[in-house]
Amino acid sequence: MGFTRAELETFRDAVVPDLLPGPGRPLRLLFVGINPGLWTAATSTHFAHPGNRFYPALLLAGIVERRIDPAAGMTDADREHLRARGIGITNVVPRATARASELSDDELRAGGAGLAALVERARPSVVAIAGITAYRTAFGQRRATTGRQPDDWGTSQVWVVPNPSGLNAHETVETLAAAYAEPARAAGVLT
């Protein structure tokens, strides 16, 4: 599936629903993107851009047990596979843009407050936020580094992991898989 630039632009400011396990199912690991890209909004699938390495990294790490190709839109079976493993996906800022750099610091801080409220309600074991710069801004942690953060949010561990976007050129599928495996082990998704 492909989109023209004009088609993608029609999805600017759209909101992609959170992917959460649902009632009676534990939320072990909540992955958090910065905000949806236009391709994600067009397919209603988190981390959907063909150049994004999120799902290949999850597969390589063993966090998911089957290939997920979200570029055309995640299937119901794909969503169920994630939910059954206790994996959820959301964003710091819900509105879609072409690039995360289009977000203001105020939007990131407001989104951070919204994320903290979601975590308080959903109570994941681990929150893994993909993007150190956005994390620093959204949560006022200017000196934060990637990895486990010193302060939990209630009963939830907080981790910052590398952004899987193709724009983050110094990361590879292999380095992303290694980084994502750490919070997945902490959450009990991996042993």
pTM: 0.96
Each residue's pLDDT tens digit, 134-162 = 999 999 999 999 999 999 999 999 999 99
CATH class of 5-187: alpha beta
Looking up tokens 């956005």, which residue turns up?
A: 134
Partnered with residue 137 across adjacent β-strands are none
Domain residue extents for the chain: 5-187
Could you report the per-residue pLDDT of 6-29, keeping only the tens digit for each? 999 999 999 999 999 988 999 999
Q: What does the alpha-carbon distance between residue 156 and residue 141 come to, in Å, rounded to a whole number?
A: 17
Residue-wise pLDDT tens digits, 48-101: 999 999 999 999 999 999 999 988 889 999 999 999 999 999 999 999 999 999
Q: Which of 87, 85, 6, 1 is nearest to 44 (CA)?
A: 1
